[in-house]
A and B are shown apart, each in its own frame.
Chain A
């Protein structure tokens, strides 16, 4: 008995120097608080704890992360940034320009991120050639989620153009269902609008308008047509839509109350969490008019410079864990997106995801891969916010004409 105690004590002493090495803490700011999303974050937590680090959750709820961003800024200004924060798109460059982000090349180079990520993605993750952020997934935003039962009961056909959409929506409404499940929040309004705009105007025009912010593209007949189409779609949204959360709108489709929802593929996470099977209980189709186009939204974490070496190490563990094959698979299975890491085995993913991955590669080659402006991939927050204001005002002000909206969009594009 004594011997084993001594042995144990010796063992503990022998291991003690190694105890502190892996004990870094990561504090991760995010707003993934709904069902499918929360599960995904829990996965990351598990991975990190397997590496010996501790995960300090820092969830700040609220739709598109507004409160989270406020908190983040305050924390950075106070000199105590979290280890990582959920930030994406051009904002990454804005943060990097302030000089507060950590250089992730020590992880990126050995793990050869350049060869694992498509260039359209890695460019966004870098600042002046160095990695400052790590991507988590690829979401396709221009999806349309369909409940086939509802369509069958209404005798409607899944639309591939916006004109067909009007016909199908009419039939669904007549059959007593809600045609379009939608939540009246600015980001959802814009998500809907950008799919319409892409379907009406095509990828080339979309890029001119929303990436280049060309005023001639913004204040154009194409833009007016997009808004006119939005006005038409509005007729098919129920009146309880204002302020409804996106996942509650998805629930309406899941439960057979509504026929379709225009939402990115994170909606699939809700279907999965409800035990529904793709192709049988629900169908994923590209939004009308956007069959060969792919609107991408890439979630990523930016990493802040840390002074504490154990935190730095934990941060690198986090970056490495996110790009890890196992995590990429599990996380994306739960969240509804596809792995951003190329060349992965997608056998566990459902048909929608496989379609998405194939489309992603094809669109990249064919030049129809466009960043989602509603999800901060295309432009800086200032013009994006101003455009949100225009689109939301248009939806809520029946008297606003498409022409007026187009003019305001051009003005919005000038915001800095």
Chain B
């Protein structure tokens, strides 16, 4: 590594360099160390702790005697849990789909050299700045049949217009999708816009010279090259969907009844309000396992790819 310099006794130089080398191989690990220890303890350690609890009969406070699969059996015999799972599938897929689709659409539209682009961008982006409590409060008011949107449209003359999803058991989860998508689409749009702006012009021009039409250019060149952005968006959106707790609590309270329950709210209710920590822990483990099954392969393959 050290080019030998004529006249200099490299033997004298080497020991000092070796120490510096040693420090520099260790230092990165030392720097990264605390973060990894924290991750180990506070993420994986706590996951193990929760896993242990899911095999106990913990009720009001944690207990540590092993009790087998009793909580998991109880979990899958629970009607409410199945509804929560179904809701997660509905909410997760719709939320991610709409955010990606609308986000991409808005980004493409904004990319057309629009006047007042900055202004419009701020408008699409600002919902992300709001706390879910704020969003839930505002949308609860808007979606309220008697005082909000339905009332407004009826006042405009459409006497039979109904938009009471938020209070209809089968539809309440879709109301959550509306509020959630409203909040997060702007951010996805920003990511796509950044991605679009990063695409090399030369490729586009070459394709145009070859006679490709606008639609073809988008579908064959631009959208595929946005793949990393799709990946990042998916991570962020997935993260938001799984953690969606504040939004549901503020918007519908899990209701009507428990029709808009999600696993996150289920876990919270059973662990903290029903004094069934063991059952809550089991549900949390199910959530985590689902997440891991989907996310890990995706992340690993993408990280590998970029090397």
Contacts and interface: CB of A to CB of B under 8 A. Distances in A.
A touching B, CB within 8 angstroms: yes
Interface of A: 63, 66, 69-70, 73, 76-77, 91, 94-95, 98, 184-186, 189, 239-240, 242-243, 380-382, 384-386, 389, 392-393, 395-397, 408, 415-416
Given A242-B167, A389-B258, A94 B275 contact: yes
Interface of B: 57, 59-62, 79-80, 140, 144-146, 164, 166-167, 169, 252-253, 255-259, 268-270, 272-276
A382 B270 CA distance: 8
Contact of A66 (B62, B144, B146, B269): B269
B275 A91 contact: yes
Which of A91, A98, A185, A389 neighbours the largest number of chain B CB atoms within 10 Å of its CB? A389
Given A77-B62, A243-B167, A397-B169, A70 B256 contact: no
A411 to B, nearest CB: 8
Nearest to B261: A389
Nearest to A391: B257
A381 B280 CA distance: 14
B169 A243 contact: no
B145 A98 contact: no
A63 B273 CA distance: 12
A66 B259 contact: no
A234 to B, nearest CB: 13
B269 A396 contact: no
Contacts of B146: 240
A98 B61 CA distance: 7
Given A389-B258, A396-B259, A70 B272 contact: yes
A73 B60 contact: yes
Nearest to B274: A385
Given A184-B167, A186-B257, A382 B252 contact: no
Given A389-B79, A396-B169, A243 B274 contact: no
A382 B80 contact: no
A392 B61 CA distance: 27
Contacts of A240: 144-146, 167
A392 B257 CA distance: 5
Contacts of A415: 276
B272 A66 contact: yes
A388 to B, nearest CB: 9
Contacts of A69: 272-273
8 contacts: A69-B272, A70-B272, A243-B255, A243-B256, A385-B270, A392-B255, A392-B258, A416-B57
A393 B257 contact: yes
Smallest CB-CB A-B distances: 4 pairs: A392-B257, A242-B167, A70-B272, A385-B274
Contacts of B268: 70
Contacts of B253: 63, 185, 243
Given A66-B273, A91-B60, A396-B259, 12 more contacts: A69-B272, A70-B273, A73-B60, A184-B167, A189-B257, A242-B166, A380-B275, A381-B273, A385-B270, A389-B80, A392-B256, A396-B169
B290 to A, nearest CB: 23
Which of B146, B164, B270, B275 neighbours the largest number of chain A CB atoms within 10 Å of its CB? B275
A95 B61 CA distance: 9
B257 A94 contact: no
Contact of B256 (A94, A242, A386): A242
A69 B60 CA distance: 10
A385 B59 contact: no
B204 to A, nearest CB: 51
A382 B169 contact: no
A397 B79 CA distance: 13
Contacts of B140: 243
A397 B257 CA distance: 10
A350 B256 CA distance: 36
A186 B257 CA distance: 6
B163 to A, nearest CB: 13
Contacts of B269: 66, 385
A8 to B, nearest CB: 51
A386 B290 CA distance: 25
A243 B259 CA distance: 12
A380 B270 CA distance: 13
Contact of B252 (A63, A239, A243): A243
Given A70-B268, A239-B164, A94 B60 contact: yes
A384 B166 CA distance: 26
A381 B274 contact: yes
Nearest to B255: A243
Contacts of A185: 253, 255
Given A66-B273, A239-B167, A240-B145, A396 B256 contact: yes
B275 A395 contact: no
Contact of A395 (B79, B257, B272): B257
A231 to B, nearest CB: 15
Contacts of B272: 66, 69-70, 73
B116 to A, nearest CB: 39
A408 B79 CA distance: 10
Contacts of A242: 166-167, 255-256
A382 B274 contact: yes
Nearest to A393: B257
B178 to A, nearest CB: 16
Contacts of B276: 381-382, 385, 415-416
B292 to A, nearest CB: 26
A186 B261 CA distance: 13
A397 B256 CA distance: 10
A404 to B, nearest CB: 11
B149 to A, nearest CB: 14
Which of A91, A381, A408 neighbours the largest number of chain B CB atoms within 10 Å of its CB? A381
Contacts of A239: 145, 164, 167
Contacts of B144: 240
B46 to A, nearest CB: 13
A32 B257 CA distance: 23
B105 to A, nearest CB: 33
A185 B253 CA distance: 9
Contact of B258 (A77, A382, A384, A393): A393
A415 B73 CA distance: 12
A382 B280 CA distance: 12
Nearest to A240: B146
Nearest to B63: A98
Contacts of B258: 186, 389, 392-393
A385 B273 contact: yes
B269 to A, nearest CB: 7
A382 B59 CA distance: 9
A307 to B, nearest CB: 19
